[in-house]
């Protein structure tokens, strides 16, 4: 088994505006995920969120000791969520094996111990510091909360599927779900917003080969963009907008960590104020 972890330090908006394309990608873009037989993690200093992947390749993968967390086991002081974007698989936690279908999420509470990934799943892993243990729980598509937003006329008709949300599953600070687009819609999170009390991370997936998403970031009055391919992630600082448009339909997983779990705690940006 190959296990790797990378650290990304937080930078302020004044520093970010000095970066060229390569500099922006080095700070915020996360590529090379979902390698067969590997666990890959990125430790962000924005709210200490960790994002990564686990792809079993005929043998179990075990997530346990990660030096970057400073604890004997990865979940000693953390909670986690696992989204399966592949075929059905199995995730074992504290002696219990959970069958995880495509599009389903497993929430894992603080102190649960080692996590074992098996089967044909392609697992997207998210983790944030926790202050108490919440029950580990499998969340199916039937359990999730759905919100319909947007319209075909504005090319952003979409369904927000919420898994880690106060009305669905108890957590300490992780909020998480994914957004699916109706045919012909490509714009996500527009009109844009920021939430200075929480950072966010996106994983773009389900994007056809050769297509791209133009992810928008930066202060509302001085936006930038990062070009994203399928199964690539991006880190969004609390001071940044996070929106985008694709050259084809796609799905994106959003996850937040920070001061609270109020999903609607956001500061909207008027379209006329974007630059």
Angle at 201 between CA 172 and CA 69, to 5 degrees: 55
- At 1 the pLDDT is 47
Q: Which tens digits make up the pLDDT trace of 105-125?
A: 999 999 999 999 999 999 999
What distance in Å separates the CA atoms of residue 67 and residue 62, rounded to the nearest whole number?
A: 14
Q: What is the DSSP string of 208-245?
A: PTT--EEEEEEETTEEEEEEE-TTEEEEE-TTS--EEE
- Is a pLDDT exceeding 80 seen at residue 33? yes
Coil, helix or strand at residue 271: helix
pLDDT at position 2 is 62
Q: Which pair of tokens denotes residue 188?
A: 């996500």
Average pLDDT over every residue of 141-151 = 95
Identify the band that residue 73 occupies on the pLDDT scale cut at 50, 70 and 90: very high
Query: Which H helix or E strand runs over 15?
Result: helix 13-16
Helix/strand/coil for 183: coil
Whether the Cβ atoms of residue 77 and residue 48 lie closer than 8 Å to each other: no
Residue 254 has pLDDT above 70, yes or no: yes
Q: 259: pLDDT confidence band, cut at 50, 70 and 90?
A: confident
Whether the Cβ atoms of residue 179 and residue 161 lie closer than 8 Å to each other:
yes
Query: What residue ranges do the domains of the chain occupy?
Result: 2-273
CATH of region 2-273, choose from 3.20.20.70, 3.10.580.10, 2.60.120.10, 1.10.10.1100: 2.60.120.10
Report the relative pairing of strands 145-149 and 96-100 from DSSP bridges: unpaired
pTM: 0.96
Inform me whether the pLDDT recorded for 267 exceeds 50: yes
């Amino acid at each position: 088994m190959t296990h790797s972890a990378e650290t990304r330090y937080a930078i302020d908006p004044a520093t970010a505006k000095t970066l060229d394309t390569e500099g922006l990608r080095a700070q915020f873009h996360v590529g090379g995920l979902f390698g067969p037989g590997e666990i890959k993690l990125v430790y962000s200093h924005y709210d200490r969120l960790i994002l990564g992947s686990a792809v079993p390749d005929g043998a179990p993968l075990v997530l346990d000791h990660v030096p970057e967390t400073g604890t004997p086991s990865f979940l000693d002081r953390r909670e986690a969520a696992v989204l399966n974007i592949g075929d059905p698989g199995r995730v074992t936690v504290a002696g219990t094996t959970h069958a995880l279908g495509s599009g389903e999420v497993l929430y894992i509470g603080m102190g649960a111990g080692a996590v074992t990934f098996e089967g044909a799943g392609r697992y997207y892993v998210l983790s944030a510091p926790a202050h108490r243990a919440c029950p580990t729980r499998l969340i199916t598509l039937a359990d999730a909360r759905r919100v319909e937003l947007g319209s075909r006329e504005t090319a952003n008709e979409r369904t927000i599927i919420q898994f880690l949300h106060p009305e669905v599953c108890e957590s300490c600070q992780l909020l998480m779900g994914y957004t699916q687009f109706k045919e012909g819609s490509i714009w996500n999170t527009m009109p844009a917003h920021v939430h200075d009390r929480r950072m966010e991370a996106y994983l773009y997936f389900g994007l056809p080969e050769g297509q791209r998403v133009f992810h928008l970031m930066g202060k509302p009055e001085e936006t930038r963009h990062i070009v994203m391919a399928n199964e690539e992630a991006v880190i969004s600082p609390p001071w940044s907008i996070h929106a985008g448009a694709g050259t084809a339909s796609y799905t994106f997983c959003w996850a937040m960590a920070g001061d609270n779990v109020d999903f609607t705690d956001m500061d909207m940006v008027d379209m006329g104020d974007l630059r």
